[in-house]
A and B are shown apart, each in its own frame.
Chain A
Amino acid sequence: NAGVTQTPKFRILKIGQSMTLQCAQDMNHNYMYWYRQDPGMGLKLIYYSVGAGITDKGEVPNGYNVSRSTTEDFPLRLELAAPSQTSVYFCASSEGNNYGYTFGSGTRLTVV
């Protein structure tokens, strides 16, 4: 039972490059989320999804895109990387309202 799996764990990007952060869960959770965590700033919601084919913006969506073609996968796309996107990215899933999240182990991204 893997829970929430994020890949890669670490990545260095050059300004203007693109990449996709992968997230997969095996708990059949409908709800999935992407957060970024900056030092001392807590967790900021980027995008979320309440089911396959349904996505919506969170608090800080600019510079990111998502898709949800299956229940299991929720990839996060960075199209034109900028230094401001240097952060640790966490994917999470839950059963729905009023249930706790299960987080992945994170992707540490540096944009230089």
Chain B
Amino acid sequence: QQQVKQSPQSLIVQKGGISIINCAYENTAFDYFPWYQQFPGKGPALLIAIRPDVSEKKEGRFTISFNKSAKQFSLHIMDSQPGDSATYFCAAYGSGNTGKLIFGQGTTLQVKP
């Protein structure tokens, strides 16, 4: 119940295309869903986050779509650029007052020029 399942494991997209990464969770107590972006040799950095009271959040070319009934959320990267090539992690806040994030397994995105 504490897992977050992320797919695909890797993704190759042409420049200008749309990158889509999906995550699913089981614990209905999760109420904060961030996405992190990690470049090689760096720590993950917060990219965008959503709470379950909204179905979509957009920041520039990055959009989170959230489906509460299906317990799924996804990251869409519009007009993908080579500079977007990185590993992306979805996450969810676990239950309790500990602020512990549960991370997905990660998706390695390669955007070809």
Residues of A at the B interface (CB closer than 8 Å) are 4, 31, 33, 40-43, 45, 48, 50, 56, 58, 90, 92, 94, 96-106
Contacts and interface: CB of A to CB of B under 8 A. Distances in A.
B9 interface: yes
Given A40-B105, A42-B104, A90-B44, A100 B98 contact: no
Contacts of B41: 105-106
A33 B100 contact: yes
B46 interface: yes
Interface string B34-72: 101000011111100101000000000000000000000
B93 interface: yes
22 contacts: A40-B105, A40-B106, A42-B89, A48-B98, A48-B99, A48-B100, A50-B97, A58-B100, A90-B43, A97-B93, A98-B31, A98-B51, A100-B49, A101-B36, A101-B44, A101-B46, A101-B101, A103-B43, A104-B43, A105-B43, A106-B41, A106-B43
Contact of A42 (B42, B49, B100, B103): B103
Interface in B68-111: 89, 93, 97-101, 103-106
